[in-house]
Structure 1
């Protein structure tokens, strides 16, 4: 596999991991004990630490990509494993 393909697939895994990691660790103003600003939604997060989110996302993406690449190299699961028609 070429390095450009590896990079593109890793970026796809990272993008997927963004949506996996976003809902975790979010606290609203009510949960944090802070006052709402006028016009602010009650569900808005109290604070946002992008470094923590980026690290968490990168770790998840690296683990998922590592599993994908190991499967690519060692062939643990192949398309033939999903052939339920009975033809070979």
Structure 2
């Protein structure tokens, strides 16, 4: 596998990991007694911490990519089958 292919796969996994990480974040505005912003959606988080979310996405993606790359090295993932050549 070329390093550019590995990087592209890693970045795709990183973006998709947001769908796994984001639902586990914090208290919602509806759970609090007072609303911080008038008209705020009750399901919106009270405090948005993008750096924390990106770090968690990176950790999750690193674990998933490590498993994927291990499967690639062991031959469990055949590039010819994925590309439709076999």
Structure 1 spans left out of the alignment, 5+ residues: 80-88
Alignment of 1:39-78 (within 5 A): 39-76=39-76
Normalized against structure 2, the TM-score is what?
Answer: 0.79
SS at match of 1:41: coil
Contact 1:36 1:42 in 2 (8 A): no
TM-superposed deviation, 1:19: 1.0
Indicate the RMSD between aligned Cα atoms, in angstroms: 1.9
User: CA–CA distance in 2 between the matches of 1:33 and 1:25?
Assistant: 18
Deviation of 1:76 after TM superposition, in Å, equals: 3.7
Whether the 8 Å contact between 2:25 and 2:45 is mirrored in structure 1 is: no
Larger Rg: 1
Secondary structure at the aligned position of 1:21 is classed as: helix
**In the TM superposition, what is the alpha-carbon distance from 1:34 to its structure 2 partner?**
3.5
Shift of 1:27: 1.1
Quick one: distance in 1 between partners of 2:32 and 2:68?
Answer: 39
d(CA) in 2 for partners of 1:77 and 1:18?
24
How many residues were matched structurally? 79
User: Partner of 2:28 in structure 1?
Assistant: 28
